[in-house]
Structure 1
């Protein structure tokens, strides 16, 4: 399955909308990816976590997202709820949300359900919604200061709240590239929001395992075909892959080049999960001869080559693989 080279598909990167031939896969993935949706609460973060966030200076970040059903997840039941496992933080993709049951917005429902089945408590699993959770607004989402810093501060908040020395992070789609910068730290630039800003010191020592699912670390070929005409495909903070000339790539997004300037900073163990049948990334997942979902310097990967593993089921149907990477540092 290949992504059609249309501006619509290019600008709706990693979001949950496909047209034409993509609709057939989407209908199958909806049925497969939302199987266990009802088992995970969509009522949001626990009262204890909400109170702690408000009392510790995180209220302005709106991690709870009470405006959405399934806008957040995680937290202790009470002060006596002891966190014994290394907390796992889930970062969703463009137009998705923390947890849900609708195709394109299942969030981390399947993964959270599986981790619960293996003994994790709600106080050890965390997710927030960093974007508008609205597919119609997806072309306007990019690696903005607001999104990067929300992911960064959520990681910091969960680590402080749980008292854990390290956390695990599992990210999907645009959430992969947002989370990588949040961990990398350093300077960044957003002309639409005050210009240059400082993300903070690297969080590498605070992350045990990082799992990137269906990310666009080298950009998207569909953005090349459309040009950097939308924020999502932008050449500064978007996913524009640049152009190939005499064997070299020029003009790749400044944000992506920054992520590529070093490697190994995402955590002690770094894995990718992706499919060459990804209907959103398209083109067999290749950008200028390389798999765009691979993380430079990664520890290992799980690659799928066909149905039912498309863009969303690479997340929704791989909870066991995610668990193996996070807990055992192995690839099932």
Structure 2
């Protein structure tokens, strides 16, 4: 082999190594945690999951914890066993993520449960983007004002009554570098009393959010019909 040929082969080898490194870097994306709502199931995020796969995410980089009772929605709150599955998923996602950071998308009670889990674990600095869909970050008027008209665990001390100790505990705290909310004024859950706001702010809006997006759809349509937007926000 001549010196000129040997030099060409060596140069091609360098390009192959550099190109491979660039491809690996391009393929590296945050792991994602998708947290369903009260009495829901991981499959509720099917549209989002499939959208992420379409955009090149690996199935192993998408975590969908299954939490809470499916037969007693009123029994679920933001304390104890409900947190275990979500915290485990967050820890697993962080361990898996090639970037060292994760993105979290929650729907309904999954929004506030995710926030509580992130804050309890002390990993807000490792969450790049947080997307809250149809959450009751500021509480539900249908749950009453704490401690009055609180009749279920979901609405109690660790629940979503207006001004509950739980909600006061998460208020104003950052859970990610970038924060977004997706909301509706036709939400059957958040706006069940026909009032969507708490102290003049939509209950689904999150403190420190970078942007909030309003759609003319119901509580569950906000999840199923905005998969592309959700994916856009975490990329």
Report the TM-score, using the length of structure 2 for normalisation.
0.82
Rg larger in structure: 2
| Alignment correspondent of 1:239 | 160
Tell whether the 8 Å contact from 1:217 to 1:295 is kept in structure 2 after alignment.
Answer: yes
Mapped partners of 1:96, 1:268: distance in 2: 27
Residue 281 (structure 1) shift: 1.4
| Alignment correspondent of 1:93 | 37
Mapped partners of 2:88, 2:59: distance in 1: 20
Residue 280 (structure 1) shift: 1.4
| Alignment correspondent of 2:175 | 266
Residue 266 (structure 1) shift: 1.1
3-state DSSP of counterpart to 1:152: helix
| Alignment correspondent of 1:314 | 222
Tell whether the 8 Å contact from 2:131 to 2:181 is kept in structure 1 after alignment.
Answer: yes
Tell whether the 8 Å contact from 1:276 to 1:285 is kept in structure 2 after alignment.
Answer: yes
Report the TM-score, using the length of structure 1 for normalisation.
0.59
3-state DSSP of counterpart to 1:273: strand
Mapped partners of 1:131, 1:163: distance in 2: 29
Mapped partners of 2:182, 2:196: distance in 1: 12
| Alignment correspondent of 2:214 | 303
Residues 10-37 of structure 1: CA deviation (Å, up to 9, x unaligned): xxxxxxxxxxxxxxxxxxxxxxxxxxxx
| Alignment correspondent of 2:167 | 256
| Alignment correspondent of 2:109 | 174
Moved over 4 A (4+): none
May I ask how many residue pairs the two structures share in their alignment?
Answer: 205
3-state DSSP of counterpart to 2:34: strand
Residue 285 (structure 1) shift: 2.0
| Alignment correspondent of 2:95 | 160
Moved more, 312-321 or 220-229: 220-229
Moved more, 160-169 or 120-129: 160-169
Aligned counterparts, 1:108-119, within 5 A = 108-119=45-56
3-state DSSP of counterpart to 1:222: strand
Residues 221-253 of structure 1: CA deviation (Å, up to 9, x unaligned): 11118810111111x101111xxxxxxxxxx11
| Alignment correspondent of 1:49 | none
Residue 163 (structure 1) shift: 4.6
Tell whether the 8 Å contact from 2:181 to 2:213 is kept in structure 1 after alignment.
Answer: yes
3-state DSSP of counterpart to 1:224: strand
3-state DSSP of counterpart to 2:64: strand
Tell whether the 8 Å contact from 1:277 to 1:284 is kept in structure 2 after alignment.
Answer: no
Residue 323 (structure 1) shift: 1.0
Name stretches of at least 5 consecutive residues in structure 1 with no aligned partner.
1-82, 100-106, 186-199, 242-251, 328-332
User: Going by fraction, where is helix more abundant, 1 or 2?
Assistant: 2
Residue 128 (structure 1) shift: 1.6
